Chains A and B, each alone.
Chain A
Amino acid sequence: MTEMFLTLEGVTAAYSNMEALRRVNVQVEKGKIACLLGSNGAGKSTLIKAILGLVKVVEGRITFDGEDITREKTHRVVRRGISIVPEGKRIFPKMTTIENLRMGAYIEQDEQAIEERLERVFELFPRLEERAHQIAGTMSGGEQSMLSIGRGLMSSPRLMIFDEPSLGLAPILVEQNFETIQRINEEGTTVFLVEQNASLTLEIASYGYVLQKGKVVAEGTAEQLTDSEVIQSAYLKS
């Protein structure tokens, strides 16, 4: 019996009065990489916001590690061990690299733990150590992307959600990001990867869902999805 870490059961969520999610069922297995594929406007961001308590969940239930987190306030959800690398990086532009990373560890009180995690992030992204005291808003897109991922790691999360980590990055940087995500997973963190880039995502994910117009239209293992009609026709037809 596999252990489900994050589950969404029949979740309907409203976003500025438009129903963006309709009775969605999604499960993320502990220790694995699960993915959610979908084009722009399919409702991927709304789904993430529903998990984080940033949009209103009209019906359904969301649980994390067996506990109900539906409609819980964002900072409480985060304190349970969920961290997010948001779409568009969303770093704090006027803070330095270090300050941004420390914000990532906001929920951590133990200064020694924070120092250790900083070291780990710098080991993963040596570039960030070089830029430690630079104002984040002045860094390149690739560096900001590293910073956003590094910041997400700083809370030492049990589940990490990535929202479109490939968006707006050069192909070489996208591949680096995906390798990093894989490495983070191998070191023990469960990953929920939300992406448009189906081919790369299915290479590293073990299970996936396809979202269209707010509904899950297909799900299965990465192999099943890669071969499936819906993915072949909509995402991999090049």
Chain B
Amino acid sequence: MTFLDILLQQSINGLMLGIMYSLVAVGFTLYFGVLDVINFAHGDFFMLGGFMALMLYAIAEAVGFAGNALVVVIYLFIGSMILTGVVGVVTERVCVKPVSKAPMLISLLVTLGLGIAIREAVRVLYPRGSDPKGFPTLMPQGSFNVGNIVIRYENLIIFGLGIAVIMAVNFLINRTKMGAAIRAVAQDGEAAMMMGVDLDRTIDITFLIGSAVAAVAGIMNGFYYGQTMFNIGAMMGVIGFSAAVIGGLGNIYGAIVGGILFGLLETFAAAALPYGAENKRVFAFLIVILFLVFRPTGILGEKIFERV
């Protein structure tokens, strides 16, 4: 393999991870836009998405509905998006929105606590919830070569799905009336209400979208690694938040760029640095820290606390 091959191969791996990170980062950015809240429980919605899919799969198996893999995969994604989205809206109403007007420290503590509650709930309520949970093999296995680069079918599907979801979110936010309401609320909530926007409903919809998109990332993660665990949300929360900040908190494109950048950094660190595999995140977060020192507003952010 030439150097270029290695570079390309690692880029593909990095993009895979990056897409997942982007999907989580988008939620952070949306929530910050409409509610001025940094929702540290968001990583746990990523985890919850994976577990909802597992639960739905167990139900499907129990009733003997497990024939066509494609149908099952679609059922898992849509079902988990709906369930996770609903949990997202309920928790937003019960404990995120009520503290959004309070000092940021309060909302930070509340959302951190919410994350722990979700994590522990999954551990206690899911059968043998403390153990790693294997994901079913539903995607076509095997791979094909482009030159010296190996591409697995499963990864290609996951990647394509990630891109599709990002495009759908972009369409929703920038091309629909509902998206215009979300952007208006992010820019000036009171002015948006003066235009006839139902503020509460818009916030609900934003959390529905954010949680559902995180759920997609959670399922992708499960298929990618072949397993999931109740505690993976905490790290994903930190990564997603970092990605949103690198890109410029409040900017959707920034969240996507930040997520992909983080995925690439991590992968290249694992491949190229001595002891890289164990310390890939140390390296990636080091870059994040440097980035924040020299450009605290992020890649696409205009100024601190500028929104969508």
Interface residues of A (CB under 8 A from B): 52, 54, 73-75, 78-79, 83-84, 86, 90-95, 99, 102-104, 106-107, 151, 155
Contacts and interface: CB of A to CB of B under 8 A. Distances in A.
A104 B154 CA distance: 46
Interface in B174-193: 177, 180-181, 183-184, 187-188, 190-193
Given A92-B183, A94-B183, 8 more contacts: A74-B194, A78-B196, A92-B188, A93-B187, A95-B183, A99-B180, A106-B181, A106-B196
A107 B196 contact: yes
Given A102-B180, A103-B180, A106-B177, A78 B187 contact: no
B17 interface: no
A54 to B, nearest CB: 7
B190 A103 contact: no
Contacts of A102: 180
A151 B191 CA distance: 11
The 3 closest A-B pairs by CB, nearest first: A107-B196, A78-B196, A74-B193
Nearest to B194: A84
B177 to A, nearest CB: 7
A139 B196 CA distance: 24
B63 interface: no
Max count, chain A CB within 10 A of own CB: residue among B194, B197, B199: B194
A90 B190 CA distance: 9
A54 B195 CA distance: 13
A78 B191 contact: no
Interface of B: 177, 180-181, 183-184, 187-188, 190-199, 308
Contacts of A94: 183, 187, 308
7 contacts: A54-B190, A73-B198, A74-B193, A86-B191, A93-B188, A103-B184, A106-B177
Contacts of A106: 177, 180-181, 184, 195-197
Given A94-B308, A99-B180, A104 B195 contact: yes
Contacts of B199: 74-75
Max count, chain A CB within 10 A of own CB: residue among B181, B183, B195: B195
A61 to B, nearest CB: 22
A92 B184 contact: yes
Contacts of B194: 52, 74, 78, 83-84, 86, 90
Nearest to A54: B190
A88 to B, nearest CB: 10
B260 to A, nearest CB: 23
A155 B180 CA distance: 16
B191 A92 contact: yes
B196 A95 contact: no
B195 A78 contact: yes
